[in-house]
Amino acid sequence: MSKAEWAGRVAVVTGGASGIGAATARRLHAAGAQVVIVDVQSGAQALADELGAGATAVVADVADEAGWALVEHTCDDLGRVDVLVSNAARQIPAPVLELTTADWDSQIAVNLRGAYLGLRALLPALARTNGSVVIVSSVHAQMGVVAHPAYAASKGGLAALTRQVAVDYAPVRVNCVVPGPILTPAWDHIDEPDRLRSIEQTVLKRFGDPDEVAAVIEFLASDAASYVTGASLVVDGGWTIAKDSA
């Protein structure tokens, strides 16, 4: 879409303070959209200040209905909603027998409940604009990775939720992206050998950049993808298509 095509459109991006969310907010703002940056971190306001006119921050917990009331109020002030990018996520690695109930619940709450609450809050407004939703899943939805049961369950649930909501609420289009090893702050605690192993397992032999996922999100949210709904588009540098075992 050209800048003129995005002009006047309003996009809500959750988890927008960093990583894929921040890259998406920057990209959609540069394209001409008004962006509402939603994050529990105060960095949402810093990014909105950086972007300037046409960017608004809402510091809120996506797993809390009260947070979505704040988002709805902001969107009412802007007059419309055209795009929801559901990206907020929490990841706490631990195998089932070592994962606390609290840590299971918090990941499901942010990753899956947060997406549900966002859909419930904004689908009526999206229906009025024939808008679109892009949900950020993960290759964890498709491949088992050691010690990520709650994260995998939530991300798999998002892929299923994408298909279901696309069926129930057409003509609103609902799609998801499935990122692989993208160099976001989530990798800050990963040591160098594990980083190198992840890179080696990709076909392209490198990390992805958050903006490379944001570019796919922009496409799915745009009129260029007007006949695409219920799809899951993998953005992983080939991480899921090749393994070195016979």
- Among candidate residues 116, 151, 169, 227, the one labeled active-site is 151
In the residue annotation, 151 being an active-site residue is answered as: yes
Contacts of 187 (CB under 8 A, 6+ apart): 181, 195, 207
d(CA 238, CA 204): 7
Residues 61-91 as b/e (b if ≥16 CB within 10 A, e otherwise) read bbbbeebbebbbebbeeeeebbbbbbbbbbb
Residues with catalytic annotation?
151
